[in-house]
C-alpha cells in the first residue's frame, strides 16, 4: 500500500474513531460508510483509479466507489470537504518529507566530499 494511501486511511480512522479492521470490513453502519466515503473522495482527488481504491477498501469492484462518488446528500458534501482538508494535510506532509530528504542528501554529499 502506498505511503500516501496509508496516511489518508490512518488519518480518517483517527478523525472518525473507526478502527482499520472495521473500516476494511463489510460492515455498513453509517459512521463506517462515512469514513469510507471520505477516503474515497480523498484518493479520487489525488488521482487514484476507482479500481485501485476498491482494492484498498476490500470492495469487489469499482462500482461501489462509483456509487459513493455519485451520492448527493448534505453528509456527502461535508465528507468531500473533510477529504479535501486531509489531502491538503497530506500534500503538506509530503513537502516536509521532501525537504527533510533533500537536506539529508546535502549533508550526505558534504560528508562524502570531506572523506575524499
- In this predicted model, what pLDDT tens digit does every residue of 68-112 receive, in sequence order? 888 888 888 899 999 999 988 888 777 777 777 777 777 777 777
Q: What is the reported pLDDT for 1?
A: 67
Alpha-carbon distance of 50 to 111, in angstroms, equals 45
Stretch 17-43: mean pLDDT:
93
Tell me, yes or no, if the pTM score tops 0.75.
Answer: yes
- 3-state SS string for the chain: CCHHHHHHHHHHHHHHCCCHHHHCCCCCCHHHHHHHHHHHHHHHHHCCCHHHHHHHCCCCCCHHHHHHHHCCCHHHHHHHHHHHHHHHHHHHHHHHHHHHHHHHHHHHHHHHHHHC
All domains in the chain, ordered by first residue: 3-115 (1.10.1750.10)
Amino acid at each position: 500500500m502506498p505511503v500516501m494511501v496509508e496516511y489518508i486511511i490512518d488519518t480518517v480512522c483517527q478523525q472518525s474513531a473507526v478502527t482499520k479492521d472495521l473500516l476494511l470490513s463489510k460492515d455498513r453502519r453509517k459512521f463506517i460508510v462515512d469514513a469510507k466515503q471520505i477516503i474515497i473522495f480523498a484518493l479520487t482527488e489525488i488521482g487514484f483509479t476507482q479500481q485501485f481504491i476498491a482494492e484498498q477498501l476490500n470492495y469487489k469492484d469499482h462500482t461501489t466507489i462509483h456509487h459513493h462518488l455519485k451520492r448527493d446528500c448534505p453528509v456527502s458534501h461535508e465528507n468531500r470537504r473533510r477529504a479535501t482538508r486531509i489531502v491538503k494535510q497530506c500534500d503538506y506532509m509530503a513537502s516536509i518529507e521532501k525537504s527533510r530528504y533533500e537536506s539529508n542528501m546535502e549533508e550526505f554529499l558534504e560528508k562524502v566530499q570531506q572523506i575524499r
